Amino acid sequence: MTKVYSHYIIKYSFILLFLYGINICVAQAQESKPFTFSGVIKDAQTGEVVPFASVFLEGTSIGMASDFDGKFSFHVPKGTFEVVVSVVGFATQRKKIDFQKNETWNPFLAIEENVLGEVEVTVSEWEQKIQTNEVSVIAISIEEMENIPSIAGNFDPIKVTQLLPGVGKGFEGSSDMFVRGGDADQNLVLLDNAIVYNAGHLFGFMSVFNSAVLNDVTLTTGGFNASDGGRLSSVMKVNTKDPDLQQFRMKGEIGSLASQLAIETPIVKDKLSISLAGRRTYADKVAEATGQDLPYYFYDVNGKITYKANKNNTISFSAFKGDDIMAIETGDFDSNTGLINKNDAYALNWKHTFSPKLSLSSALTSSGFSYNLRNVDQNELVNISYSIRSLGFKNTVDYYDGKNNLWKTGVDYTMHALSPYTVLSEGDVSNVVPNQRSNSKFMHEIAPFVSHERQLTDRIQATLGFRVSSAVLAESAYIGFEPRALMTLSLTDKESVKMSYSRMNQYLHRLSNSSVALPTDIWYPSNEIVKPQNSHQVTVGYHRNLPKWKSLFTLEFFYKKLNNLVEYKEGSNAQFSTEFDDILLQGEGRSLGMEVLLRKKEGKFTGWIAYTLAKSERQFSDINYGAWFPSRYDRRHNVSIVGNYILHPRWKLSGTWEYLSGARFTPIIARYLTLNPVSTVVDIVPVYSSRNGVKLADVHRLDLSVEFSSKPEKKVQWKIVAGAYNVYNRTSPVGIVLSYDRDANTYRYEQPGLFGMLPFMNVSFSL
């Protein structure tokens, strides 16, 4: 990888830096504005920072959105202006300021409670979104997520992101994401900066994120910042709420499949607070009470401690742990099957502000995933186990010089400890499944990065970034150069054109034993034989604010080239093999598409319409005779409609409708008989069609829910949500089965599906 690409990347990077330097010199020759306006936006009720708030000078296009830490800092001219601060869910704040010097303002926003229960969003918020130098980035508030019906009644961040443009999904109900033609392992999912390796409970039907503790979710599918890396297709950042520093709070929810409870309380008022939340499915207990057996349950626990030492220092420690446990016993045959799947993520975050211009963010993280699959059948035993543990450290420094220059630099380090993939067997089955054990592996990833955002003119912003990633193992080492470029051209105050280029490298590969993302997949590092994956992605977008409709319209086009993708050799037995280098192939991929999003966040009716037109292909020299073929989840069309309507201050109607082109499948088209030279028996050998040559039936589904809530003035707030998943009872096909029809004495294809209509209801409260 390095020998092929590095000299080209260095060459073109110097050219970009030279051209960019010319633009900076031209921009610096213009008259500079003298003052800096900065501050931190916080929730007046909890003291928690408010990200993505719009801060601007009334009557001008000067302003910005606050960052993840609620901070803002931008250049202002001399004179008196009215400063407006607005964000979804809070009342808009205004303040007149006479700018004669550098000014600081730390506004506290109050929760918006108007007559209709609507959320006010000023047109200027969309205008700031238009002018922000970012592309293919979508932030979703918790309020929006709460309005979307889900399979379990509790809102699910993963399921919500699957309704966004460019984000595909696997089989119905799965928590896997296939972003812009990429694979499921190419998404970096972070919980308070800690990696989450398995984001699903219940074999992927529910995510591991407890809605009671979430603060915000941001998904980036293109235009990546230089500070983010390690995966090719997307970065999903999930942040939990800081515990309330002022008063005790409690909230709980009883859902169709699981219940949850969360508490938060100050230990030292205005200084130290703590929160704790737990969730468990109880379907097994309900089945047991009715005399049935459902040998599966999951639980997860979240905790967080926040310490605000002073106005310039905040330290927080967050923890997540979740287990899935299944135990099937068959007494008549003296057999049982058990699966224990463990998931955890811990993060220690420190945020320090040196000055309004200079800040530091540090994160120390630990993440783990493991499983143990055990099957006992009379005197035979098969046990499969695997685990991965990652320790990480990330340091980021932000510097704003007050002259339209924002610098971000730092280093990202992760150490991966991959335990042996172990297969143990006893009894007669050991003749078929021999004992095997792979070697323990350690991999170190380190990536220094730097980016520079510059307001070149009144209409042009540009960001140039560079990340140097590397992976070091005992037997090999790789280095990858990752240039990032982003530019925004504001055509008017209401519309802009945005362009980006990103090169990404990925040194860990997820090996799946089936088309379904079961918790028996393993993460495998790059080595001398298995090379790192890498990608090039170009995005061009048009963004427009629609004041008449109080909406935002985006149209984006992308092209992505993927290299060194991983696939099993045809006919290999992946489940019982530990010599993965011998059964893996590497090939190429490419995808291109168009994404449309129309989003409305104000008024009685809110929601969005998303449409994706895309094509995704793969090429492996030893698969499909070396010809290009559609990827497994190459869905040509993907439509999502999300709507929420306020019927009454206490009644709300919500619904989603999805339409997806069918996924791809490789069916058996014939069988032939051959004599086994070892056992002298006749084997039936299947013959397959071209790889992914058949498209399954298209999928469409309607989900509806209605919400009834308590009066706003009540001390204890509650709400009841009832609805149905898949209202018109259409099953989603998950594959093709070749079955024998005895009456017709012939074989025929069938498309088995999952999920008919599933009613749900959940009751929640907060105080």
DSSP state of 90: B
Residue 714 structure tokens: 């009540």
pLDDT band of 307, cuts 50, 70, 90: very high
Of residues 297 and 7, more confidence is placed in 297
pLDDT tens readout for residues 728-750: 988 877 666 767 777 877 777 77
Sequence-ordered list of residues with C-beta below 8 angstroms from that of 357, at least 6 positions apart, any chain: 36, 38, 73, 399, 400, 401, 402
Cβ(683)–Cβ(674) under 8 Å?
yes
617 and 591 in contact (C-beta within 8 Å)? yes
pLDDT tens digits for range 101-151: 777 777 777 765 443 334 344 444 556 667 788 899 988 888 888 888 776
Choose from 44-48, 75-79, 262-266, 681-685 the range with maximum mean pLDDT.
262-266
Q: Higher-confidence residue: 649 or 290?
A: 649
Range in 1-5, 140-144, 203-207, 627-631 with the lowest mean pLDDT: 1-5
Check residue 446 and give its pLDDT: 97
Predicted pLDDT of residue 14: 44
| Numbers of helices and strands, H then E, in the chain | 5, 53
Helix, coil or strand: residue 534:
strand
651-663 pLDDT, tens digit per residue, is 999 999 999 998 8
Taking the chain, what is the end-to-end CA distance rounded to the nearest angstrom? 56
For the record, the structure tokens of 616 come out as 């995704």
Residue 762 has pLDDT above 80, yes or no: yes
> Bigger pLDDT: 134 or 52?
134
Those residues whose C-beta lies under 8 Å from the C-beta of residue 306, and which sit 6 or more positions away, are 242, 243, 245, 272, 273, 274, 314, 315, 316
* pLDDT attached to residue 1: 52
- What's residue 433's pLDDT? 66
Give residue-wise pLDDT tens across range 478-502: 999 999 999 999 998 889 999 999 9
667 C-beta neighbours (distance < 10 Å), count: 15
Higher-pLDDT residue of 111, 11 = 111
**257 pLDDT tier (thresholds 50, 70, 90):** confident
Kindly report, residue by residue over 697-715, the tens digit of the pLDDT.
Answer: 898 999 999 999 998 888 8
Pick the CATH number of 2-131 from 2.60.40.1120, 1.10.340.70, 3.40.50.150, 2.60.40.290: 2.60.40.1120
- Interval 595-615: pLDDT, tens: 999 999 888 899 999 999 999
pLDDT, the chain, mean: 84
Q: How far is CA 340 from CA 249, 370, 375, 607, 682, in A?
A: 33, 8, 12, 39, 38
pTM for the whole structure: 0.84
Average pLDDT over residues 414-438: 76
Closest among 94, 302, 282 to 202, alpha carbons compared: 282
Of residues 312 and 683, more confidence is placed in 312
Reported confidence tier of residue 680, pLDDT bands at 50, 70, 90? low
- Percent of all residues in the chain with a pLDDT value above 90, rounded to a whole number: 46
| Cα angle: 76, vertex 80, 82; to 5 degrees | 85
- In terms of Cβ atoms closer than 10 Å to its own Cβ (0-12, 13-18, 19+), residue 424 is middle
- In 477-583, which ranges are E strands? 477-492, 495-506, 508-511, 522-525, 533-546, 551-568
Tokens of 450: 């730097």
| Residue 59 falls in which region: left (phi positive, over 0), alpha (psi -120 to 50) or beta | left
Q: 309 and 334 in contact (C-beta within 8 Å)? A: no
325 has a pLDDT exceeding 70: yes
CA distance 669 to 665: 12
Torsion of CA 467, 472, 476, 477, to 10 degrees: 20
